Amino acid sequence: MNKPYSFLVCILLVMLVSKVYTQVKDFSVYEAPVPGSAFTIKMIPVQGGTFKIGNYMATGKNPVETKQVTLSDFWMGAFEITHDQFGIFYKDESVTQGSKTDAITRPTAQYIDLSWNMGKEGGFPVNSLSQDAALMFCRWLYQKTGIFYRLPTEAEWEYACRAGTNTLYPFGNDAKLLDDHAWYQKNSKNKYQKVGLKKPNPWGFYDMLGNVCEWTLDQYDDNYFNLIGKQPVDPVIPPGSRYPRSLRGGSYLDPAPQLANGYRFESEPSWNKRDPQVPKSRWWLTDAPFVGFRILCPRKQPSAEEADKFYSLYLGK
């Protein structure tokens, strides 16, 4: 990239970030710039409140179980992060980490195409990546723009997914309507699809159910509801070990019951069993093509010290 062009890109980024700061202050919808590109990430404001998290109806291994929690205001991505957006970060040689992630300064190369020919450019969700990789994308956005991003907690994810409803799915209890709202086992033809092709939920979030299963911030724990009962405001289970971590939403491979609002998934070491590298990659999951993510921005932004402490905690395990 020549210097004049680089200078113009920097000026444009400063203008975009300045506009974003205004929108963040106003708590309105905004387009988060993906630094070094023309891509943006649509962020939808979600006013905090109190709701019952959990299963209002039994679904598979998940029994009826709920807990009342209260959440603060946040924004969350309207869509799952795409290969196009993540690719800008992936190719950015200026990335610095300061974490234990692969003990290098940028993402490791994929030794095979982990999209498995399901699609990359043009709006397909990024997939086959670890929670570390998703959080490093968030950290990169923060380093480049000064606005703090992270993954949603399980509670934040479910609150946004339910969108004020108390039914099995955001659109009601009838699984026959899933075809209009999600890519799942019945209609996906065993492939993820471009984001945003199905109907959004009542708050404007697309693909919350199906397409790719989404990372959350929490350590997975079978005792989750008892644990969050001890922290009913902005609950999160902090990291204790690499496995298991929590995911939500189900994927293009999952049946209808596993796409329910309250259904919880746990990560497994087997998701990387075919990785030939020693040690196995902390970035990529060779056997989890169904895993992706979306990002969250808390309305109350942490200080620089608090942000660094957060990333060190989650990326140090």
* Structure confidence at residue 101 (pLDDT): 40
Distance of alpha carbon 175 from alpha carbon 153, whole angstroms: 26
* Highest mean pLDDT (candidates 20-29, 37-46, 96-105): 37-46
Distance of alpha carbon 5 from alpha carbon 313, whole angstroms: 37
In sequence order, which ranges of 177-303 are alpha helices (DSSP H)?
224-228
* Structure confidence at residue 105 (pLDDT): 47
Q: For every residue of 39-101, which 3-state class applies, written as one string?
A: CEEEEEEECCCEEEEEECCCECCECCEEEEEECCCEEEECCCCEHHHHHHHHCCCCCCCCCCC
pLDDT tens digits, 83-133: 999 999 999 877 644 444 443 446 788 888 999 999 999 999 999 999 999
Q: Name 210's bridge partners.
A: 183
* Domain 3-315, classified CATH 3.40.350.10, yes or no: no
| Residue pair 317/239 in contact by the 8 Å Cβ criterion | yes
Distance of alpha carbon 219 from alpha carbon 153, whole angstroms: 10
**Other C-beta atoms within 10 Å of 90: how many?**
21
Q: Letter for the amino acid at 271?
A: W
| Band of pLDDT at residue 23, cut at 50, 70 and 90 | low
105 token code pair: 């300064």
pLDDT tens digits, 177-196: 999 999 999 999 999 999 99
* Structure confidence at residue 99 (pLDDT): 41
pLDDT at 36 over 50: yes
Q: Sheet containing 245-248: which strands, arranged edge to edge?
A: 264-266, 245-248, 213-219, 291-292
What Rg value do the Cα atoms of the chain yield, rounded? 19
- Report which of 160, 242, 165, 245 is spatially closest to residue 209, judged by C-alpha positions: 160
- Report which of 286, 232, 243 is spatially closest to residue 265, judged by C-alpha positions: 243
| Residue pair 80/125 in contact by the 8 Å Cβ criterion | yes
| Band of pLDDT at residue 22, cut at 50, 70 and 90 | low
Q: Letter for the amino acid at 64?
A: V
- Report which of 184, 221, 177, 219 is spatially closest to residue 199, judged by C-alpha positions: 177
Q: Name 245's bridge partners.
A: 219
Contacts of residue 185, defined as CB under 8 A and 6 or more positions apart, other chains included, come to 252, 253, 254, 255, 256
Distance of alpha carbon 222 from alpha carbon 227, whole angstroms: 10
pLDDT tens digits, 207-220: 999 999 999 999 99
Distance of alpha carbon 170 from alpha carbon 156, whole angstroms: 15
